[in-house]
Each structure stands twice: as C-alpha cells, then as structure tokens.
C-alpha cells in the first residue's frame, strides 16, 4: 500500500493556503531589484549565495563591511563584475541606484543602521532579531508609519517556508485540537567562536559572546521558533521564565552557552519550552507542537504529523481531522506533512521580498511582527539574566 502524505489526504493541495504561498517559485514580473548588503559575515555572505541563484529577481550591486578581509571575500562572490565596496554604510545609502538593502550586522547595530536605511527611502531586509532593545523595536514601528510604499521585511524566514505555512494552517483548522505545549530545541556542540586574525578584533568578530552587542542564544537561534508561535497563533507570550549559564565554555564570554526559556501564553492556555545549548548536538533542531488531537514534529525543512492514539482507536482513521481517507502511517505512527523536503527558508523569504517590493505590500514578517518577537526575546533575556519572572507590558504599542 503506497504511503500517502498528510498534505494529500487533507485535500488541501488543490485549494488551500499552501499553493498560494510559494510551494514553487513565483515568476519574476519586472527588472531585477538592485540590492546592497551591509554586513558581510557568515549571514550576509550566506544570503549573497542564495541571491546569486536568483539573478532574475535580484542583482547585488554593493557590499559594505568595516572589516577589510570580509569585504575582499564578499567581492569574490560577484557573478556580474566587481561590486562597489564601502566601509561606511552611509555612503552606500547615498547611491541612488540601490533599490533595497540587506542589513546583516551584529544585533546591537540593527537599529541605527535600519533607521538610516528607512530614512533613505530604500527597501529593507533586516536580519533577525529585529532590534536589540524593546525601545528600538517600538521606534522602528514609529519610523515605518505612513511609509506604505517602502517594504521592511524581517529575516524570520520560516514564515515563508511551505512547510511552516502548512503547519500554521493545520493549527488554524484545528487538526491538532487544543494546543497546550510547544517543545523546542536548537542545540550544537561547539564554542560558537570565529577565528580572530588580530586580538583587537575579538569583540567585533565574536560579538555574539558579549552582552553589550548580543542577545545570545535566545536572539540568534530560539527567536525563530518564538516568532513562529507568535505567527501561528496570532499572539505573543505574557510571562517569561528562564535559567541558564556559562556551563561549558568558560573562555571569557558573557552570554550563556546553556539556556532554557519557558513562556506562558495565558490567552491560549499554552506553555512554550525553548532550549538551546552549545555542549551537545544530538537533538540539533527540534520543534514539537502538541495538541489534544495530535503532534507536529518539525525540522527546518520537513515535518511529521502524529495523531493521538485515542483518535486512531476511536475512528480507525483520522477522518475526524482530515476527511474520510485512510492514511498509511509509518512504524512510529506518523505521516509526512509534505511529500518532500523544502528549500532553505531564506530562498522562499527572498522570493516573497521581491514580490512585495513590486507590489508595495506588507510582508508576513514585517516591522509589527518583528517588534513582537524582538520584545519577546528581550524579555526572555531579561528573565534569564535577572533571575526574575518578567511580564509583557500592555503599554507596548505596536500596531
């Protein structure tokens, strides 16, 4: 008996949210967007690699970094001749030929650079987490007020993956029943350090290790999963509990290498458990969303649905969730959510960024949603370092 996927059996392939949100690439309908990159570290050059595979949508024209060796490395990635290079991003913003800017600088610089990009009138793809502080998040919301023809997209790329769209739809249609717990991990086994050619560049290169510049594991990793829960349930946490420490790499770093964050969503009756560590990579990325009718277990590019046993024993099928078609389950009692693995989420995100620029529309990951997640991350870190329970302040006016 041929195993069918959950997607096929739900009957949503032909008329649901999935196809309307980039299961396949949207065809370009205009000239390539001339785009510049500010920040040519791992993330900036990673995005450049993806854009080099999308020549009909984007053409990289300029790059900027304060470190000469990073500029030189980025320059080698050009496929259409030499990029313009800058060490001062303000001079890049003066270039009238640049339509859009990617900001992939250290977190503490997100706000000042993004604010200048907004004031320049250029479209902005701002890497996550959107800002370093709550006040900066609220200020970016204010800066974007009334700029309806200017697109600001935040780099929470899983909002654009067909897999994560599908899971959001499953939640909204009640396939999981009442969801009361989320369990997330993003683990690695390594010190997270980058090589430093000169000791004076330690903080510039290894900024993630220092509280002055970084939101640590919560901002760099767990923000993606926190953002997805905010999006899928159209909410944000109200209560923040956290613990952690520098438990593995006692090398002068200030941000924790081992954290556990628990978030409470009282409006939903939901608890979110979010953990990350640098001392064990066995679990890697895990994301489980647990409801009274079933569980979704996600990786970044594929996922499984596991119905509760009571549902199977009562129905013999999952027709109460999916219709009337019997599904073939694997030996663990699950079935794939999509028939094959998805692309890197950043590919889908930039496909949508291109379309939103052409149409002057609000992205799914925008300044409002970015602010909610940035505030959530900041409060999680506040709870972590203060060793106190923190609460969302209803005075935060986002949109």
* Domain at 384, CATH number: 3.30.360.10
C-alpha R_g of the chain? 22
Residue 14 lies in a domain: no
Q: Is residue 231 part of a domain?
A: yes
- Number of domains into which the chain is organized: 2
Kindly report whether the peptide bond that precedes residue 388 is cis, defined as omega within 30 degrees of 0: no
Confidence band, pLDDT 50/70/90 cuts, at residue 397? confident
Helical packing angle, 134-144 and 367-386, nearest 10°? 170
Show the beta-strand stretches assigned E in the chain: 33-38, 58-64, 84-86, 100-103, 123-126, 152-154, 179-186, 239-245, 258-265, 270-277, 285-291, 294-298, 303-307, 335-336, 390-391
Would you state the pLDDT for residue 82?
Answer: 79
The reported pLDDT for the residue numbered 322 is 44
Residues 92 and 228 in one domain: no
Residue 238 lies in a domain: yes
Is 184 a domain residue? yes
| Count of other CB atoms within 10 angstroms of residue 258 | 19
Is the Cβ–Cβ distance between 175 and 10 less than 8 Å?
Answer: yes
- Determine contact, residues 92/103, Cβ cutoff 8 Å: no
Does any domain span residue 3?
no
- Decide if 217 is inside a domain: yes
Same domain, 145 and 177: no
**267 shares a domain with 216:** yes
For residue 240, give its domain range. 164-341+374-391
| Residues 169, 152 within the same domain | no
Asked if 223 contacts 156 with a C-beta cutoff of 8 angstroms, the reply is yes
Give mean pLDDT, residues 1-8.
Answer: 40
pLDDT at 346: 97
Alpha-carbon distance of 68 to 282, in angstroms, equals 37
Residue 26 has pLDDT above 90, yes or no: no
Task: Assess whether 67 and 212 both reside in one domain.
Answer: no
For position 28, what pLDDT does the model report?
A: 57
Tell me how far the alpha carbon of residue 9 is from its chain's centroid. Answer: 29
> Residues 89, 150: one domain?
yes
Residues 266 and 280 occupy one common structural domain: yes
Using a 10 angstrom Cβ sphere, with 0-12 exposed, 13-18 middle and 19 or more buried, the burial of residue 59 is middle
Question: Rounded to two decimals, what is the model's pTM?
Answer: 0.91
Q: Quick one: pLDDT at residue 243?
A: 98
**380 plus 239 within the same structural domain:** yes
Q: Are residues 286 and 384 in the same domain?
A: yes
* Residue for token pair 């640590």: 216
State whether 190 and 144 are in the same domain: no
Q: How many whole angstroms separate alpha carbon 170 and alpha carbon 6?
A: 10
């Amino acid at each position: 008996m041929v195993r069918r996927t959950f997607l096929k059996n739900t009957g949503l392939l032909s008329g649901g949210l999935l196809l309307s949100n980039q299961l396949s690439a949207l065809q370009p309908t205009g000239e390539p967007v001339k785009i510049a990159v500010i920040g040519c570290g791992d993330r900036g050059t990673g995005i450049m690699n993806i854009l080099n595979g999308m020549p009909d949508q984007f053409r990289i024209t300029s790059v900027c970094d304060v470190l000469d060796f990073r500029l030189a490395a980025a320059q080698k990635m050009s496929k259409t001749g030499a990029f313009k290079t800058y060490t001062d991003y303000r001079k890049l913003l003066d270039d009238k030929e640049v339509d859009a800017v990617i900001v992939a600088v250290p977190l503490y610089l997100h706000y000042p650079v993004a604010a200048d990009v907004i004031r320049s009138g250029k479209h902005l793809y701002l890497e996550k987490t959107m800002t370093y502080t709550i006040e900066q998040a609220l200020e970016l919301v204010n800066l974007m007020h009334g700029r309806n023809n200017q697109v600001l997209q935040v780099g929470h790329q899983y909002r654009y993956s067909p897999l994560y769209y599908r899971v959001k739809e499953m939640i909204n249609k009640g396939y999981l029943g009442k969801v009361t717990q989320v369990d997330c991990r993003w683990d690695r086994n390594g010190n997270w350090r980058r090589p430093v050619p000169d000791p004076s560049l330690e903080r510039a290169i290894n900024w993630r290790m220092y509280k002055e510049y970084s939101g640590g594991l919560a901002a760099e990793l767990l923000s993606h999963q926190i953002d997805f829960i905010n999006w899928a349930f159209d909410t944000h946490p109200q209560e923040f509990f956290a613990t952690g420490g520098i438990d593995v790499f006692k090398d002068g770093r200030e941000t924790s290498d081992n954290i556990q964050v628990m978030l409470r969503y009282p409006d939903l009756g939901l608890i979110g458990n979010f953990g990350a560590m640098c001392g064990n990579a066995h679990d890697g990325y895990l994301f489980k969303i647990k409801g009274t009718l079933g569980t979704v277990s996600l990786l970044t590019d594929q996922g499984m649905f596991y119905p509760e046993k009571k549902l199977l024993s009562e129905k013999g099928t999952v027709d109460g969730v999916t219709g009337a078609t019997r599904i073939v389950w694997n030996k663990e009692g699950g079935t794939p959510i999509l028939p094959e693995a998805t692309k890197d989420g950043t590919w889908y995100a930039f496909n949508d960024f291109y379309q939103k620029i052409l149409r002057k529309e609000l992205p799914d990951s925008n300044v409002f949603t970015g602010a909610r997640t940035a505030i959530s991350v900041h409060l999680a870190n506040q709870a972590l370092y203060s060793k106190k329970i923190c609460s969302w302040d209803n005075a935060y006016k986002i949109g």
